[in-house]
Structure 1
Amino acid sequence: MPAFASTEYPLLPPAAAASLGPTVVLAPHPDDESLGCGGLLALLRQAGLPVWCVLVSDGTMSHPNSRKFPAAARQALRLAELHAALRELAVPTEALYCLNLPDGAVPPPEAAAGAAPVRQLADFLAATQPATVLVPWRRDPHPDHRATYQLLQAALHLLSRAPRVLEYVVWAWERASPTDLPQPGEVEGWRLDIGPVLAQKQQAIAAHHSQLPGSPIDDDPMGFTLAPSMLAHFAQPLEVYLETASR
């Protein structure tokens, strides 16, 4: 998607990652952390900075008709894959916090079911005090990604000091409609050179076996796996980040 890969965005060197300080990444599903910002997470850890991961949904809807892996088994498998991916990125297991919201139905903050996760997220951010939070692009086409962004915005209103918010791109690379794209003056974008840690990012993505071709969950014809064309976006030595232009 040219709007997100614009060469007009400044290209920052790998060392620029350290300027973000302690960082929390919000992942709507297990794998979003590796796809959207695995390179940045690896660079932050190389710089010795703390990184936390908040998993928003339970990740169970990628293969909803599987009998070999019923919902509880799917959740356990995807959580194990996330732990493996975080190890590849040098993020410690104890830095993972799970909200366990329903995959495919993450509630927005205005819904009755949204109040509790907003409070949980605000409490987690107050406890960890990150300088930066990474969250999916506000209009990323998947509804769980949009709801995750909205939950964060609501949680920020409960904090005495708001961290810097950077938005990363996942589904908008291929599925964005014109209205999903950044509008003039809405955000500022920049590209990060992740060349030195690209192999780490690829290993983290590969840890999410169930979401890739050849998935062990092989008894659901309607099951989801990432297409090669989609994976190609995340095999580049660059990651794109956006933030509100008024910052």
Structure 2
Amino acid sequence: MTRFFPAPTRNQSPKSFGTPEPEWLTWLASQTWPQVVFDIDRLVVVAAHPDDEILGAGGLVHTAASQGIEVVTICASDGHATHPGSPEQLANRRHLELDTASMLLGLDLPRWGGLHSGTLQQYPDRLDAMIRNILDARPGARNGLLAVWDHDGESDHEAVGQAAMRIAKPLGIQLWMYPIWLWYWARPGDVNVPWHRVQTVGVSPTVMAVKNAAARSFAEQKRPRTPDDNPQPVLGGSITSHLLRGTEYVFG
């Protein structure tokens, strides 16, 4: 989820950043979208940074696992670039946080791609190979892919989403994509967003309690960054409120 500044769409000005959650809730409640239906027996979940898949689609992933679907997660980067200090120590802490969150959601421990945050656009071949290797490990499985949205407005997120698109299309694999920063820079009904592709997952109070517990694992993302450059934590109140709703939204 690494972010050093919010990314607007082409038609937005900096003053328009940060759509309040009540605006989203009112508009989302007025829309009707189909629910996600799983016709798979294995779900490969791809994240750019440690925490993406938990915050963006933790309810969906937990639901899939509870239905007996094998869930395999891979995080492409080590998340070392969100704060100053020792990159190695930060990466180790981010690994531990994601391991903890994954276990709380009832998932196996994630796999790691080993790339550095902020560099994923430079390694399309390695991203493709990460995904393909996991898919190839279970020939004959009815695989589905879940990846961060390829137009989310953050370079690493988009690199992962683009890799998932490159792999899924030729193979005819069902692909769902979860947005994260969209909720921050977009507006309800934004013409830059393919709302016609949206599918929903209802998150029960029980599952939401589990997701909230998992989200609390990401202590590093709630810690302020540099006082002079950017004192706000990555997981500030506004973006967190968007990601901990009773319904999750993905693009199908």
TM range (shorter): 0.7 to 0.9
Query: How big is each residue's C-alpha offset from its partner over 1:175-208, in whole Å with a ceiling of 9 and x where there is no partner?
Result: 238564227xxx4212211114111111111111
Match of 2:200 in 1: 191
1:115: which partner in 2? 125
What whole-Å deviation, never above 9, does each CA across 1:66-103 have from its counterpart, x for those lacking one? 2xxx000010000000000000110012xx22112220
Which amino acid counterpart does residue 130 of structure 2 have in structure 1?
Q
Partner of 2:96: 80
Mapped partners of 1:156, 1:41: distance in 2? 18
CA contact (8 A) 1:17 1:40 kept: no
C-alpha distance after superposition, 1:96-136 (max 9, x if no partner) = 221122201212xxx5x322332232122221445211111
> Secondary structure in 1 aligned to 2:54?
helix
SS in 2 for 1:10: coil
Is the partner of 1:62 in helix, strand or coil? coil
Distance 2:44 2:130 in 1: 14
Work out the CA distance in 2 between the residues paired with 1:236 and 1:230. Answer: 11
The unaligned stretches of length 5 or more in structure 2 are: 1-18
Give the TM-score of the pair, scaled to structure 2.
0.78
> Out of 81, 87, 96, which is 1:71 matched to?
87
Name the structure 1 match of 2:62: 42
**CA separation in 2, counterparts of 1:53 and 1:130?**
16
Partner-residue secondary structure (3-state), 2:88: helix
Contact 1:133/1:163, CA 8 A, preserved across alignment: yes
2:156 pairs with one of 139, 144, 157: 144
Distance 1:189 1:179, change over 3 A: closer
Query: Is 2:53 the counterpart of 1:28?
Result: no
CA contact (8 A) 1:17 1:43 kept: no
- Normalization by structure 1: what TM-score? 0.79
Assess, with a 3 A threshold, how the Cα gap between structure 1 residues 181 and 74 changes in structure 2: closer, same or farther. same
Give the percent of matched residue pairs that are identical in Structure 1 and Structure 2. 23
Over 3 Å counting, the alpha-carbon distance change for 1:60 and 1:188 in structure 2 is: same
Match of 2:242 in 1: 233
1:212-243 deviation line (CA, Å, top 9, x unaligned): 2xx3xx67433643111111112211001112
Aligned length: 221
Structure 1 position 5 matched with structure 2 position 28? yes
Instruction: Measure, in 1, the Cα distance between the counterparts of 2:102 and 2:180.
Output: 18
Is the CA contact (8 Å cut-off) linking 2:75 and 2:111 kept in structure 1? yes
- Report the more deviating stretch, 198-207 or 19-28: 19-28
The more displaced of 38-47 and 2-11 is 2-11
User: Residue type matched to 1:142 in 2?
Assistant: E
Unaligned runs of 5+ in 1: none
Task: Report the Cα distance in structure 2 between the residues aligned to 1:219 and 1:199, rounded to whole angstroms.
Answer: 28
- The whole-number CA distance in structure 1 between the counterparts of 2:207 and 2:161 is 26
What is the one-letter code of the residue matched to 1:55?
C
Match of 1:54 in 2: 74
What secondary structure, in the 3-state scheme, does the structure 2 residue paired with 1:170 have? coil
Aligned to 1:126: 136
Once superposed, what is the RMSD of the aligned Cα atoms?
A: 2.5
